[in-house]
Amino acid sequence: MRTIILIAHQAMTARLVKLMRRHMATFERYRLLSTAETGEALECETGLEVMHLFPARKGGDIQLCGLVCTNTIAAVIFLRDPLTSDPAEPDIAPFLRACDLNNVPLATNVVTAHALAAWLGRKPAGENAVAEEAGSGAPRKTLQ
């Protein structure tokens, strides 16, 4: 089964829940991974099973970043709160870089998250063509 990483800053968790409810049929088709806090909220609010890794402040973001580098992640939705500056928040630059280096689609705001969810919900027939266009010339490996 293919995997989607779902992360949200605390102020954006409700918007991530709303997004998931709107695209429930799509999210039901994927394995879902998240940090502990976000994952618990998503499970509680959507009824979907979400595998929780460590909390972000204890390295969960690093665990997820490592998974992005294995080319087993179909996409990442990371809803950031651009208005809140919390010095305790982990630096997300390595996470963004990992997505870029590994051609993993990444949405960091609600509008692109809806577009990515719609793309994930499409018929998988064009999947290899999209991966080949993304850069390497070979389809990305995904969990099936």
| Domains of the chain and any CATH numbers | 3-133 (3.40.50.1380)
pTM of the model: 0.81
Yes or no: say if 32 and 3 are a contact pair by the CB < 8 Å rule. yes
Q: What is the pLDDT along the chain (144 residues), one digit of tens a residue?
A: 799 999 998 899 999 999 999 999 999 999 999 988 899 999 999 999 999 988 877 887 788 888 999 888 999 999 988 887 666 566 678 888 999 999 999 999 999 999 999 999 997 655 544 544 454 444 444 444
- Selected catalytic residue, list 61, 81, 91, 100: 61
Strands of the 3-8 sheet, one edge to the other: 50-52, 31-34, 3-8, 73-79, 106-107
**Of 83, 144, 133, 137, the residue nearest 105 (C-alpha):** 133
Q: Output DSSP code: residue 91.
A: P
Is 91 labeled as catalytic in the residue annotation?
Answer: no
